[in-house]
Structure 1
Amino acid sequence: MDTTTQQRFPKITDEGLEDLRRRIGVTVGQTVEPWCHEATRDNIRHYAHGIGDDNPLWCDPDYAAGSALGGIIAPPSFLFATNRIISGYVGGLPGVHAMWSGADWNWHKHVRRNDEISSEARLKDLIEHQTRFAGRAIQQVYNVRFYNQSGDLVADADSWCFRTERDHAREQGTKYTALRDRAPRRYTDEELQAAYQLYAQEEVRGGTPRYWDDVQEGEALPVMFKGPMTVTGFIAYAQGWGGLYIRANKLAWRLIDVHPGVGIKNKFGIPDCPERVHWEEEFALEVGAPGAYDYGPERCSWLTHQLTNWMGDAGFLRRASCKIRRHNPAGDMLFIHGKVKRKYTEEGRNLVEIEQEARNQDDELSVLGGGVVELPKRA
């Protein structure tokens, strides 16, 4: 790949940052319609299937009706589909790349079938970093609050993107130098079968309560497998989540006409969305990534999937965190490990704190996270 090309993309400027700082604390208007206004049966199922989660509590009305919850609820991470800012739709610094990089979530209520979700968002902070990936980078943090049709606070979360200069990441970034020069990984049938065995053994706790009394500090959660990564899988997630900039025909033109920085010309000279780094290898390499790669909210949802499988129908996910450490390009496998860090009581709740990390097939750290689960106690 020729890395001697002239500057193609806008840079981070002090003037742009100053303009963006003036937005801190200001409520963000309805810049773009959410993918899902309502937690319908199909919207919930599409999101769950987009992360490879077949828990019948989200997907099977008959099962859910017979559960203690009395009907379908949404997986906690479904809320990514109800607000685009929580998922990485950032304002300011037009033409500067944005990579979703983490979130801290708090849940207060279940999202039930046919709940109507509204949200409000504010820019919370801007933090400057020096990175191996792209040199100067700006961590852009938003706070988002989610409400149901009764006005009840369902959840709140901070999420952040890193704004990076595409030219610098491609030409001077050192994080993926060795990986870009490496031949594509090709797995043997034996390697694939060993990984697929984790799918065959995946346990959804379901209606069997996991009691707080029985949990031991230091105990491991079953390893959760995700992958092997394919562009097909990334698109399956976008089908349930909605994406940030995926539009067709007139709607694509309208978005780019209003926000020209969103339209980056492809090999045909046609302005197309920056989100295509997730399915277009050529463009992913242009922004300094090692290849077409998974979505950040998708990976966060994989971590919460491990927690909801483990806690069962009677559990409630109170908090979760996710910090992205590297891209998962197509061809990668991901192995999510979890361990009970502590168990404790707080305000009458019986809680278990779990720490998580996920590594790829080469034992490279992909993501750090964790959560706090509320469990029932034996009578």
Structure 2
Amino acid sequence: MNTKETTDAGISKELALGKFTDKMLDDMRALIGTELRTESCLNNEYATRLAIMRFCEGIGDDNPLWTDANYAKDGPYKTLVAPPSFIFACLGSVQVGWPGLGGFHAETKMTFNEPIRVGEKITAKVTFDGFDGPIDDSNFGGRRIKDYLRQEYRNENGELKATFICSRMRFERGEMQKRRESRAIEVPHPWKDEEIAEIEKQILAERPRGAETRYWDDVQVGDELDVITKGPLGLTDFIAFIAAGAAPIPRVAAHAVSLKRYHKHPKWAFRDPRTHALEPVYSVHYNDYAAQLQGAQIAYDVGIQRTCWQIHSLTNWMGDAGQLRAITGQYRAHVYLGDVVRLGGRVESKEIDTNGEYVVKLTTWATNQRDQKVMPGTAVVALPKRPAA
């Protein structure tokens, strides 16, 4: 197969194979502090009932506080609210610079204020905050940098709902491809029927804490969260995340709409040699061929998708009256089609913060069936104080 064959539009059968250059680095330094255009990446401007429901279906979270209006009217907000992760369904992220380089989402840092209520209009502002490197990392993908996008989400009254610091690793795809075989594992995982039955039994037993208030007073250091499980991950799980409106950079489109984009920006796409169809770079998350060009084994999850699962775990634990204040997460390994991820956490400390809120600080984790720590992280949750007797 001649992977370097191109069309008249300049679209190749491989992903772009850019290289770090002094000019590229200088150009990117000149962009530091720039507010980025977001129009092509916006998904939902309003937190409508159906937008919230679609998003929750796409991450597998059926908490009635997000999805059942009759239940929510008796809750702490007297109306439906969106899960904290819903900001990704407004705008997951955008692309900036680094022409021809590959990218993996490396780390997430988020802070949250009041929840998004049904009907609110959410606007995202994205700023390029710079990058670290380049540095050499021969064990993974050769020369690389880590860049930072600051994303702020506000409602129509200008109230800040959440801040998301999105960090990505940028690398030369040719170097990643050279090292792919050194990271080879058996994929998809060879599950046995009895293992699948037990996994599905565990998933069906999961429940959010809901209206049963978890009081700060009753939490003890060392307490562990109930585990939630995602998987075995199928293609529909990955597509559902796109259907939820959470596919970043830019929106996924079809037919003439996408073709016009790819002819204008040839490096946004490649031609699949099996189907002869044009596919976006984003298809590394559902197209094995594209994922292998990126240096992975087969199709793999989206970084913010994994963060949505982390938030699902936390909101299940804290109950309706709790509020998520902050999280961090580092993406340490690919999560592939067929994998199972179990998410949990542990209470590390309790305190009254500078705002007078009663908070607990947690260590969180996500572990696959290979016992890889695929997303170590942290969280801060505000809980109600038990009323005096």
Task: Return the offset for 1:112.
Answer: 0.4
- SS of alignment partner, residue 339 of structure 2: coil
- SS of alignment partner, residue 376 of structure 2: strand
Aligned to 1:46: 54
Task: Return the offset for 1:174.
Answer: 6.4
Aligned to 1:75: 83
Aligned to 2:136: 130
- SS of alignment partner, residue 359 of structure 1: strand
For the pair 1:162 / 2:169, whether they are aligned, the reply is: yes
Distance 1:68 1:31, change over 3 A: closer
Distance 1:271 1:13, change over 3 A: farther
For the pair 1:109 / 2:117, whether they are aligned, the reply is: no
Aligned to 1:281: 288
**Residue identity in the other structure for 1:124:** D
Task: Return the offset for 1:28.
Answer: 1.2
For the pair 1:226 / 2:230, whether they are aligned, the reply is: yes
Paired residues, number:
373
**Pick aligned residue for 2:21 from 13, 24, 40:** 13
TM-score, normalised relative to structure 1: 0.93
CA-to-aligned-CA distance 1:130-167 (integer Å, 9 cap, x gap):
33331112211111111101111111121111112222
Aligned to 2:241: 237
Aligned to 1:189: 193
Rounded to whole Å, the distance in 1 between the matches of 2:219 and 2:339 is 32
Distance 1:298 1:7, change over 3 A: closer
Rounded to whole Å, the distance in 1 between the matches of 2:187 and 2:109 is 36
Task: Return the offset for 1:30.
Answer: 3.2
Rounded to whole Å, the distance in 1 between the matches of 2:299 and 2:352 is 43
For the pair 1:296 / 2:303, whether they are aligned, the reply is: yes
- SS of alignment partner, residue 40 of structure 2: coil
- SS of alignment partner, residue 366 of structure 1: coil
**Pick aligned residue for 2:263 from 257, 265, 275:** 257
Deviates more, 1:101-110 or 1:125-134: 125-134
Task: Return the offset for 1:183.
Answer: 6.0
Rounded to whole Å, the distance in 1 between the matches of 2:277 and 2:200 is 40
Confirm or deny: 8 A CA contact 2:152 2:163 kept in the other structure.
yes
Distance 1:84 1:335, change over 3 A: closer
CA-to-aligned-CA distance 1:221-274 (integer Å, 9 cap, x gap):
111111111111110111103423411122212322332221222215544210
Q: State, as a whole percentage, how many aligned pairs show the same letter.
A: 32
CA-to-aligned-CA distance 1:38-67 (integer Å, 9 cap, x gap):
100011111111111000010111111121
Distance 1:184 1:158, change over 3 A: closer
Distance 1:59 1:321, change over 3 A: same
Rounded to whole Å, the distance in 2 between the matches of 1:373 and 1:20 is 36
Task: Return the offset for 1:200.
Answer: 2.4
Aligned to 2:318: 311
**Pick aligned residue for 1:176 from 175, 178, 183:** 183
Confirm or deny: 8 A CA contact 1:50 1:236 kept in the other structure.
yes
Aligned to 1:328: 335
Confirm or deny: 8 A CA contact 1:350 1:375 kept in the other structure.
yes
- SS of alignment partner, residue 119 of structure 2: coil
**Residue identity in the other structure for 2:122:** I
Confirm or deny: 8 A CA contact 2:127 2:149 kept in the other structure.
yes
- SS of alignment partner, residue 127 of structure 1: strand
Confirm or deny: 8 A CA contact 1:133 1:175 kept in the other structure.
no
Rounded to whole Å, the distance in 2 between the matches of 1:327 and 1:287 is 12
- SS of alignment partner, residue 315 of structure 2: helix
Task: Return the offset for 1:114.
Answer: 0.8
Task: Return the offset for 1:72.
Answer: 0.5
Aligned to 1:350: 358
Distance 1:29 1:217, change over 3 A: same
Aligned to 1:95: 100
Rounded to whole Å, the distance in 1 between the matches of 2:187 and 2:53 is 37
Aligned to 2:151: 144
- SS of alignment partner, residue 102 of structure 1: strand
TM-score, normalised relative to structure 2: 0.91
Confirm or deny: 8 A CA contact 1:47 1:240 kept in the other structure.
yes
Confirm or deny: 8 A CA contact 1:7 1:167 kept in the other structure.
no
CA-to-aligned-CA distance 1:191-219 (integer Å, 9 cap, x gap):
11221222122120111100000000011
Confirm or deny: 8 A CA contact 1:81 1:240 kept in the other structure.
yes
Rounded to whole Å, the distance in 2 between the matches of 1:372 and 1:175 is 37
For the pair 1:378 / 2:386, whether they are aligned, the reply is: yes
Distance 1:148 1:279, change over 3 A: same
RMSD: 2.2
Distance 1:251 1:8, change over 3 A: closer
Confirm or deny: 8 A CA contact 1:198 1:223 kept in the other structure.
no
Deviates more, 1:346-355 or 1:236-245: 236-245
Distance 1:184 1:115, change over 3 A: closer
Confirm or deny: 8 A CA contact 1:133 1:288 kept in the other structure.
no
Confirm or deny: 8 A CA contact 2:90 2:246 kept in the other structure.
no
Rounded to whole Å, the distance in 1 between the matches of 2:337 and 2:359 is 37
